[in-house]
Amino acid sequence: MIASTASSMPAGEGAHRRQIQVDPLALLRTTQDPPWDVYLTGTVFLDIIFTGLDSAPVRGTESWARGMGSSPGGVANMATALARLGLRTSLAAAFGDDHYGEYCWDALEQGEGIDLSLSRTVPGWHSPVTVSMAYEGERTMVSHGHEPPPEEPAPDCPPRARAAVASLTPGRSAAWIAQAARKGARIFGDVGWDDTGAWDLAGLPDLRYCEAFLPNAQEAMRYTRTDCPRAAAHALTEHVPVAVVTLGAEGAYAVDGRTGECAEVPAIEVEALDPTGAGDVFVAGFVTGTLAGWSLADRLAFAGLTAALSVQEFGGSLSAPGWAEIGAWWRKVQSVEGQEPVALRRYGFLAELVPEELVRPWPLRRAVPTIGFRRSA
């Protein structure tokens, strides 16, 4: 198992880091390609994240956090993770016409280069907000939001894209998923906890459009009525071509039902600061590797690596790694004495992806984001 270390708190000197970019699909692009690599739709939250808490907040007391940041959250976590990995990403979402909405729009469009042409600002609608408190490797969240706007921003008219990421909801079908699939998009589905308690795959009608399904171990076992996450992955391939089951600290396991190929990659040992958004980053890494045509094992390793790098920073979209972080990690682990050769070979595909001139020293430092300072005249 590869281990790496990083600073546990981001620096606050202030300058935005220059995004170092690699196009993982460069050799595959043609003039006939869809305009977008990935399409998403969903709700954007303003996330406010507190870190550096020694323990969980105690009722009737005041807790002080040593770190704080703000960033777009919700579906923006996935969109940012995809964009930072070099995929041309289009997001359809509603934004409030308050300062929060303006900040999120600017951060995604100008800061991350995400296409928001299918998004819209809704007059009089307050942006949803989530406050996340990270401590002891876990998180506690409090959210506030009003009823969503009566019109959703064009989910029934998705653009042509190589792929789309869809959050499947038990008992509900989203028309845009079928439409995206008919336009040639490869659908990657994730899922949340089933509050109905049914855990019935028949209750996920849009699963039939998915090329890959990426639940965590508990979700996979409940849906398949199995007591082993690896057995659950195999059982899921009766319903979807590729099943990927995340195993938490044990890594991830994947099965391609079309070829019979299996892959398992252990987790990378890191000091976790905040797990917020790690699942989204994992999916983004797997989507990237799939569109690039990598082997199942390489896709799984890359997804696990990007998720591991993300938990070493706070926040959801804030923590999504780009190629600068990936390259810096790869250089660092190669220099560690006594590194396991088998583990190094597992990530050897990175050598051809990250140009030497783009690699920065490890650890990298990120600026602490804020809603915005007043600009001097």
What is the DSSP-derived secondary structure letter of residue 214? -
Question: CA 124 from chain center: how many Å?
Answer: 30
What was the pLDDT predicted at 11?
A: 34
When the pLDDT of each residue in the chain is averaged and rounded to a whole number, the result is 85
Report how far residue 219's alpha carbon sits from residue 245's, in angstroms, rounded to the nearest whole number: 9
Report how far residue 127's alpha carbon sits from residue 101's, in angstroms, rounded to the nearest whole number: 6
Percentage of the chain exceeding pLDDT 90:
59
Res. 346: pLDDT tops 50: yes
Question: Mean pLDDT throughout 360-372?
Answer: 54
Roughly how many angstroms between the first and final C-alpha of the chain, as a whole number? Answer: 53
Residues in the chain: 377
Long-range contacts of 184-188 (CB under 8 A, 24+ apart): 184/34, 184/160, 185/34, 185/39, 185/158, 185/160, 185/161, 186/162, 186/211, 186/212, 186/290, 186/291, 187/163, 187/211, 188/163, 188/164, 188/212, 188/214, 188/283, 188/286, 188/287, 188/290
Report how far residue 246's alpha carbon sits from residue 58's, in angstroms, rounded to the nearest whole number: 32
pLDDT band for 10, please (50, 70, 90 cuts): very low
Could you tell me if 144 and 169 are in contact, meaning their C-beta atoms sit under 8 angstroms apart?
no
Res. 80: pLDDT tops 70: yes
pLDDT band for 150, please (50, 70, 90 cuts): low
What was the pLDDT predicted at 6?
A: 40
Question: CA 11 from chain center: how many Å?
Answer: 23
Dihedral sign, Cα of residue 196, residue 197, residue 203, residue 206: positive
Could you tell me if 39 and 75 are in contact, meaning their C-beta atoms sit under 8 angstroms apart?
no
- Give the pLDDT confidence of 291-343 residue by residue, as tens digits: 999 999 999 999 999 999 987 776 677 789 999 889 888 888 888 887 788 88
Question: Mean pLDDT throughout 106-120?
Answer: 94
Res. 237: pLDDT tops 60: yes
Res. 370: pLDDT tops 80: no
Q: Of the ranges 35-39, 93-97, 269-273, 283-287, which one carries the lowest mean pLDDT score?
A: 269-273
Q: SS3 helix, strand, coil % of the chain, rounded to 5?
A: 30, 20, 45
Q: Which range scores top for mean pLDDT: 127-136, 161-170, 191-200?
A: 161-170
Structure tokens at 138: 């876990």
Model pTM?
A: 0.88
